[in-house]
Amino acid sequence: MTTARTAARTARPGERARTARPGGQARSGRYDVVVVGGGAAGLSAGLTLARARRSVLVIDSGEPRNAPAEGVHNYLGLDGVPPAELVAVGRAEVSGYGGEVVAGRVVSVERPEGGDFRVVLEDGSAVAARRLLVTTGLVDELPDVPGLAELWGRDVLHCPYCHGWEVRDQPIGVLATGPLAVHQALLWRQWSERVTLFLHDTVEPDDEQYERLAARGIAVVDGRVAGLETTSAGDAAGRLSGVRLAGGRVVPCRALVVATRGTARAGLLAGLGVETTERVMDGWVVGDHVVADPAGATSVPGVWVAGNAADLTAQVVVAAAGGLRAAGAINADLLAEDERLALAARRAPVAAGPSHGPSHGFSPEVEAEVCERVAGERRHGI
């Protein structure tokens, strides 16, 4: 397995290498881009922007969504890498190109009319930004079952592509919290022949669904789930061993699948007027996310979003790709502004005085310079 240190070292153009300052304080200052959130999306954007020679600051409060998981799966080239290691490598890569990564929590963002964004951190410091990228991820709201939250990300699972292989062929329970539960049970059947759907007084499959479940050998258990049982001794101490029903019956399970409601961490953006919307699947609200175009631009000029804050279903590699894409769009937007400003400066009325520099307003010198740049030796004395 590649370590953070070796990956960072091999990836760096040595002369620009700088030390990551994940524990440092954000300095006051002005940046081309401030990225709020340093998970896969934010760090990927930070890397792209730093390599595009933009001044970029990534501010991260250190609570990535997949923190409880042992490894990141389906990330090509790094399958199984611990989440914290991927973040450490990403931070080193960003700072290796001159980007800054700091630990901190952004508590507010405001933008005076026509000015820079003012990004305020929990410690009271503030930085200015020409553009803002929000990659704060989402919060998983878990079903309220005693003992469930403690096992989240280890034995209580939501995504078969993230965890299915690790629990293949094991007894897997699916806790119904909405109409998608039947679909979930049929999906997880790909990873194990021993799947049990717990109806949890939440759903009642119709005849056709019962037939599909039966055809795939999925057991259906009626009644409310009251709690989870764990192993008390040995190497597996504290791991899930069963699902306890209200009547006291315990059904052995090695993993329990739940559907979470994903809420984008978008509170910061409300004051700027950025919209969020509900994500509905099969008529069921599975969460909400920030409204943005495919490159992450929100309806508010200068504000972009990427990763789970924009797309609840984005896995790590997709979140990283979203950060990259948003970074490219932000760079293009800044380029357009840089050009606008340069043209405005060039065309600005000439200041009083006899000396007209070649870059000030209309003058023979300016015209000569333009001809030189555009036509070069072909200008024939223009």
| 62/227 with CB nearer ligand FAD | 62
Part in contact with ligand FAD (CB under 6 A); list of ranges 111-119, 306-314, 325-333, 351-359: 306-314
- Rule CB under 6 A: say whether 106 interacts with ligand FAD: yes
Residue 319 buriedness (CB in 10 A; 0-12 / 13-18 / 19+): buried
CB of 290 to ligand FAD, least distance (A): 11
Using rule CB under 6 A, residue 42 touches ligand FAD? yes
C-beta separation of 382 from 375 below 8 A: yes
On whether the CB atoms of residues 129 and 108 are closer than 8 A, the answer is no
Please identify which residue in 17, 29, 61, 150 interacts with ligand FAD, judged by CB under 6 A: 61
Among candidate residues 203, 362, 220, 361, the one with its CA nearest the CA of residue 282: 203
User: Mask of contacts with ligand FAD, 172-211, x by CB under 6 A?
Assistant: ----------------------------------------
Q: Which listed residue (8, 22, 32, 38) binds ligand FAD by CB under 6 A? A: 38
Query: Which letter, b or e, does each residue of 28-41 get, where b requires 16 or more Cβ atoms within 10 Å of its Cβ?
Result: eeebbbbbbbbbbb
Q: State yes or no: residue 105 binds ligand FAD (CB under 6 A).
A: yes
| Number of separate helices (H) and strands (E) present in the chain | 9, 19
Which SS3 state, helix, strand or coil, does residue 362 take? coil
User: Is residue 41 within the footprint of ligand FAD (CB under 6 A)?
Assistant: yes
Among the listed ranges 60-68, 206-214, 324-332, 362-370, the one in contact with ligand FAD (CB under 6 A) is 60-68
Among 22, 64, 90, 160, binds ligand FAD (CB under 6 A): 64
Restricting to residues 360-379, name those near ligand FAD by CB under 6 A: none
Residues 114-143 that bind ligand FAD (CB under 6 A): 135-137, 140
Closest listed residue to residue 252, CA positions, set 239, 243, 261, 260: 243
Residue from the set 51, 54, 65, 111 that interacts with ligand FAD by CB under 6 A: 65
Pairing outcome for strands 225-230 and 240-245: antiparallel
Indicate the burial class of 133 (C-beta count within 10 angstroms; 0-12, 13-18, 19 or more).
Answer: buried
Per rule CB under 6 A, is residue 51 in the interface with ligand FAD? Answer: no
CA distance 313 to 309: 10
Among 7, 26, 31, 39, binds ligand FAD (CB under 6 A): 39
Which residue lies nearer to ligand FAD by CB, 156 or 181? 156
Sign for the pseudo-dihedral over CA of 190, 192, 196, 200: negative
Binding flag, residue 22, ligand FAD (CB under 6 A): no
3-state SS, 291-355, equals CCCCCCECCCCCEEECHHHCCCCCCHHHHHHHHHHHHHHHHHHHHHHHHHHHHHHHHCCCCCCCC
Least distance (Å) from ligand FAD to the CB of residue 199? 24
Task: State yes or no: residue 315 binds ligand FAD (CB under 6 A).
Answer: yes
Q: Which of 68, 146, 223, 294 binds ligand FAD (CB under 6 A)?
A: 68
Q: Does 240 bind ligand FAD (CB under 6 A)?
A: no
Written as one letter, the residue type at 369 is E
Looking only at residues 253 through 292 of this chain, which bind ligand FAD when binding is defined by CB under 6 A? 265, 268
- Residue 51, SS3 per DSSP: helix
Q: Site size for ligand FAD, by CB under 6 A?
A: 38
> Considering only residues 36, 50, 218, 228, which one is a binding residue for ligand FAD as defined by CB under 6 A?
36
Residue written as token pair 């304080």: 25
Q: Coil, helix or strand for 212? A: helix
Residue numbers of the site for ligand FAD (CB under 6 A)? 36-42, 59-66, 68-69, 72-75, 105-106, 135-137, 140, 153, 162, 265, 268, 307-308, 314-317, 319
